[in-house]
Structure 1
Amino acid sequence: MVTSPVAKETPKEIPKEIPEEVKKVVLKTSEPIGLPKKPSQFSISAALTKSEEEEPDKIIASTKKDLPSQHFSETDLQIEWKKFLVELQEKDVIVYNAINSFKLKKKDENIVVITYPSESAKVEFDKVRSDFFNHFMHKVNHFNISVEFSVDVTMKKEIITKRKIFDKFAEINPLLKDLDDLFKLDFS
């Protein structure tokens, strides 16, 4: 039989009577014994206080002054945008279809204006915006580029279906509508 090397402790005697002086004193801690309560990541109040504390604009502004700012041309911007769209078409067709109608123009040495057709397309562009501009800034060695957005609703592409074509012709010639009702034509 193997005995453990740990020595056995003898139980200490606990006094049966507690003096009156000890009973009256209540010990309190200065801090809670448990873990501090963390706000939930979905807490609105925590998000508001967090946004007030952070000031990343000052940090970004000081680091951008130190970065190189070489000249780039409008053709550099257009070539890289077309290359990016080709790569994006292979990776993510949905985002490509949303942003392929965007127009990028160089407004000033440090400003690129992006014209887009709708807010939903802009949301899709925001997903890949950092990828494009990180690549472009490294390619032209110009790291002080700022972006301006402008909406142009005339750029919206309307998908014309056979039903829409038929409805246009039916407005011109009402007899087509009668034929559709009579023969139950399917233009879907």
Structure 2
Amino acid sequence: MPAEAFNETDMLLQWNKFAQKMVDSGKRLMATYMQMNDPTLEGTKITLELPNQSTKEEFLAGSIELLGYLRGKLHNHDITIEVVVNETTENKYAFTPQEKFERLKQINPALDLLRKTFDLDV
């Protein structure tokens, strides 16, 4: 079996091509999982971080086709995929106007100066 060397850039290029292939074939869920985080490469082990166990299980169910694709395109049959669950990655949603303002102020602190200058309500 071939075992040619490849780098993270080559892997990411093929990873994103496969994700687009999934979108084109109507398998958007798999593509979404693939694009949640950029995978990392350590030797021939590709590591992907996902937010919870159910997402991991759904990804792994569809990853056989991905693994075959990557092994073929990168000419290396030693490639493996490991999925790590990181439940601490949590999206905090802003619902109230105050929460929205605080979130925007984190992104751009100059908004608070603007609010004070023009004596605006939040």
Q: Verify same fold: TM over 0.5.
A: yes
Count of matched residue pairs: 99
Residue 153 of structure 1 aligns with which residue? 87
Deviation at 1:156, TM superposition (A): 4.3
Q: 3-state SS of the aligned residue for 1:103?
A: coil
1:121 aligns with 2:55: yes
Residue 12 of structure 1 aligns with which residue? none
- Tell me, which stretches of 5 or more residues in structure 2 are unaligned? 103-122
1:23-49 CA distance string (max 9 Å, x none): xxxxxxxxxxxxxxxxxxxxxxxxxxx
Contact kept, 8 Å, 2:51 with 2:87, in 1: the verdict is yes
Deviation at 1:154, TM superposition (A): 4.5
Residue 66 of structure 2 aligns with which residue? 132
Residue 114 of structure 2 aligns with which residue? none
Q: 3-state SS of the aligned residue for 2:9?
A: helix
Q: 1:154 to 1:76 in 2, by over 3 A?
A: farther
Structure with max Cα Rg: 1
Deviation at 1:83, TM superposition (A): 1.2
CA distance in 1, matches of 2:56, 2:89: 13
- Tell me, which stretches of 5 or more residues in structure 1 are unaligned? 1-66, 173-188
1:61-92 CA distance string (max 9 Å, x none): xxxxxx12110110011111111122222322
Deviation at 1:127, TM superposition (A): 2.6
User: TM-score scaled to structure 1, two decimals?
Assistant: 0.45
CA RMSD of aligned residues (A): 2.4
User: TM-score scaled to structure 2, two decimals?
Assistant: 0.66
Q: 3-state SS of the aligned residue for 1:138?
A: helix
- Equivalent of 1:92, from 14, 19, 27? 27
Deviation at 1:112, TM superposition (A): 1.8
Q: 1:154 to 1:88 in 2, by over 3 A?
A: farther
